[in-house]
């Protein structure tokens, strides 16, 4: 469920006027820069909500992850910062890239974090659950890509810690 919020508005922040688009997504308000137009919800969970969006500057589709109340609990704040730092550092074709971190509308009310990343078509869980049969070649190809990504992140002494089919995004 995606709908424009009651007010899409222009907001000035620190002397810098930016157009802000507001949308309601699965009961969560998204306030994103006018550069982005939200398209549809992709998923939601304890971490927040993810939507596909159109980058009106480049014409590319992206994913925007909103982490609600990112600073409410110290553990969650550290986890979010760690994820951002690691993903900004990584440069590998099998590891998702962060394209942008959206600036808050107001630093006085900076509660939520918006992470813009590549948009992937699906995840491994949806592929496994689909009626389409997976051949041995498919399985070998997926496993090879997963192992390439793991080798890369492990070479940086990083462990994923939540490796499961729904966290393996695919194009």
* Under-50 pLDDT residues of the chain: 6-15
Q: What confidence score (pLDDT) does residue 155 get?
A: 98
Quick one: 1-119 is in which CATH superfamily?
Phosphorylase Kinase; domain 1 (3.30.200.20)
Q: What is residue 48's predicted lDDT score, i.e. its pLDDT?
A: 82
Name the token pair of 96.
Answer: 């998702």
Q: Which residue has the tokens 């596909």?
A: 52
Domains of the chain, by residue range, sit at 1-119, 120-171
pTM of the model: 0.85
Q: Which residues of 141-167 are buried (b: 16+ CB within 10 A; e: fewer)?
A: ebeeeeeebbebbeeeeeeeeeeeeee
List the binding residues for ATP. 66
Report the catalytic residues.
162
Residue ranges of the binding site: 66
């Amino acid at each position: 469920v995606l709908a424009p919020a009651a007010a899409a508005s222009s907001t000035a922040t620190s002397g810098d006027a930016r157009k802000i688009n507001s949308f309601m997504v699965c009961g969560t308000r998204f306030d994103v820069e006018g550069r982005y137009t939200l398209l549809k919800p992709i998923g939601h969970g304890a971490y927040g909500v993810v939507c596909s969006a159109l980058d009106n500057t480049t014409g590319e589709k992206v994913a925007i992850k909103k982490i609600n109340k990112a600073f409410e609990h110290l553990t969650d704040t550290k986890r979010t910062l760690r994820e951002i730092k690691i993903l900004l550092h990584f440069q590998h074709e099998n590891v998702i890239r962060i394209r942008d971190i959206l600036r808050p509308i107001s630093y006085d009310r900076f509660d939520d974090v918006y992470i813009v990343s590549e948009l992937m078509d699906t995840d491994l869980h949806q592929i496994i659950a689909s009626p389409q049969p997976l051949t041995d070649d498919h399985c070998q190809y997926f496993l090879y890509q997963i192992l390439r990504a793991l080798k890369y992140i492990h070479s940086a002494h990083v462990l994923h810690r939540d490796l499961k089919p729904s966290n393996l995004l695919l194009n």
